[in-house]
């Protein structure tokens, strides 16, 4: 067959496979099963009469044909997305207001750049970032004091809709020469007798305490710090241990400033979600903000994975 029946779906697939570095990971991102991805890729290769990926090599490589098709994907898909955005603007208008409340301290790291790329595309949308700690950020939506909340909880609430952003791993931080650094991963007991350095938030907002230490009956001393760099500095100077998202510490790890270890064998994973008023889910500039953040995050943040928990 020569009149090849290629579709955007195939381009998105190839892009996801190369970006995710494998079929299984691509499947997660596309919200498909691994089987579907394998079948679809094979069907595409059969239709073209050419293999697209190098099997049995890790990390997965592309064939010349695969690279050519990926080039097409990189050229064509952004055009398609831009057109869809323009259509959305035609439909709903291109102006609006987005007051954003953020629950997690480290989120500013990726939120700022994401907001920048969003602003390029929706210049008519007024972006505001709400500062300060909020006891009940989702409540701000219903108060009308915020339009969008980035949160780790998805407690169902009338009139509020949640959309998953991504899952990320919390890593335990310790000085590079600390005795515990010899272990591949830390167990709850390893934290006993150490001070825990955290952001100034209640204990039930700290995943490490709520999901790991408290169930094991361990209650370490706490010391609070406002800024990520302050926490890192306290850890490096042996004042205690901390737990931060993997993406937030990646740059410091590279420089050997501190060490990071998994919490439990499979790691401690948390998720971020976006909450908006249900009435706003249909607004194009709202939906596209969520899309932008997600795309930006997966492109920029190391070690994140698609969210698993149903919103």
**Interface contacts to a second copy, rule CB under 8 A:** 2, 4, 6-9, 48-50, 64-65, 68-69, 71-72, 75-76, 79-80, 83-84, 86-88, 90-91, 282, 284, 287
Q: What is the dihedral of CA 78, 84, 87, 89, to 10 degrees?
A: -80
The angle subtended at Cα 56 by Cα 51 and Cα 62, nearest 5°, is: 40
Q: How far is the CB of 11 from a second copy (least distance, A)?
A: 9
What token pair was written down for 117? 């790329």
Rounded least distance, CB 19 to DNA, Å: 13
Q: How far apart are CA 293 and CA 311, in angstroms?
A: 17
Query: Which segment (49-57, 86-94, 103-111, 172-180) binds DNA by CB under 7 A?
Result: 49-57
Q: Which of residues 8, 19, 33, 278 is near DNA by CB under 7 A?
A: 33
- Identify which of residues 64 and 221 has a Cβ nearer to a second copy in the complex: 64
Residue 56 interacting partner from DNA, a second copy, none (CB closer than 5 to 8 Å by kind): DNA
Half-sphere exposure of 153 (CA within 13 A, CB side): 15
From the list DNA, a second copy, none, pick the one residue 90 interacts with, judged by a Cβ distance below 5 to 8 Å according to partner type. a second copy
User: Among a second copy, DNA, none, what binds residue 23 when CB lies within 5 to 8 Å by partner kind?
Assistant: DNA
Q: Which is nearer to a second copy, 74 or 300 (CB)?
A: 74
The Cα–Cα gap between 244 and 170 comes to: 5
Taking CB under 7 A as the criterion, which residues in 50-89 touch DNA? Answer: 55-58, 60
Rounded to whole angstroms, the Cα distance separating 266 from 244 reads 16
Residue 100's closest CA among 58, 60, 140, 70? Answer: 140
Whose Cβ is closer to DNA: residue 43's or residue 230's? Answer: 43
Phi, psi of 138 (to 5 degrees): -65, -30
Give the chain's end-to-end CA distance (angstroms, integer).
Answer: 43
Interacting residues toward DNA by CB under 7 A: 9, 22-25, 31-36, 38-43, 55-58, 60
């Amino acid at each position: 067959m020569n009149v090849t029946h290629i579709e955007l779906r195939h381009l998105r697939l190839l892009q996801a496979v190369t970006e995710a570095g494998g079929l299984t990971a691509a499947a997660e991102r596309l919200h498909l099963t691994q089987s579907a991805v394998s079948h679809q890729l094979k069907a595409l290769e059969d239709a073209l009469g050419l293999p697209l990926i190098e099997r049995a090599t890790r990390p997965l490589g592309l064939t010349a044909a695969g690279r050519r098709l990926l080039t097409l994907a990189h050229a064509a898909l952004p055009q398609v997305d831009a057109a869809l955005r323009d259509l959305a603007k035609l439909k709903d208008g291109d102006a609006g207001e987005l007051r954003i409340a953020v629950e997690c301290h480290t989120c500013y790291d990726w939120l700022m750049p994401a907001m920048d790329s969003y602003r390029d595309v929706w210049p008519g949308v007024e972006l505001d970032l709400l500062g300060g700690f909020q006891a009940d950020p989702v409540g701000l939506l219903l108060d009308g004091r915020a339009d969008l909340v980035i949160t780790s909880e998805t407690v169902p609430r009338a009139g509020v809709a949640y959309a998953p952003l991504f899952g990320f791993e919390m890593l335990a931080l310790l000085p590079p020469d600390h005795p515990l650094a010899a272990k591949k991963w830390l167990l709850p007991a390893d934290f006993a007798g150490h001070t825990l350095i955290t952001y100034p938030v209640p204990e039930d907002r700290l995943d490490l305490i709520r999901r790991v230490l408290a169930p094991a009956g361990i209650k370490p001393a706490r010391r609070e710090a406002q800024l990520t760099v302050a926490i890192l500095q306290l850890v490096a100077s042996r004042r205690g241990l901390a737990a931060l998202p993997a993406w937030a510490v990646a740059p410091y790890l590279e420089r050997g400033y501190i060490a990071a270890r998994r919490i439990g064998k499979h790691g401690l994973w948390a998720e971020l979600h976006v909450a908006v008023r249900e009435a706003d889910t249909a607004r194009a500039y709202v939906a596209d903000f969520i899309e932008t953040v997600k795309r930006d995050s997966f492109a920029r943040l190391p070690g994140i994975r698609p969210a698993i928990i149903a919103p």
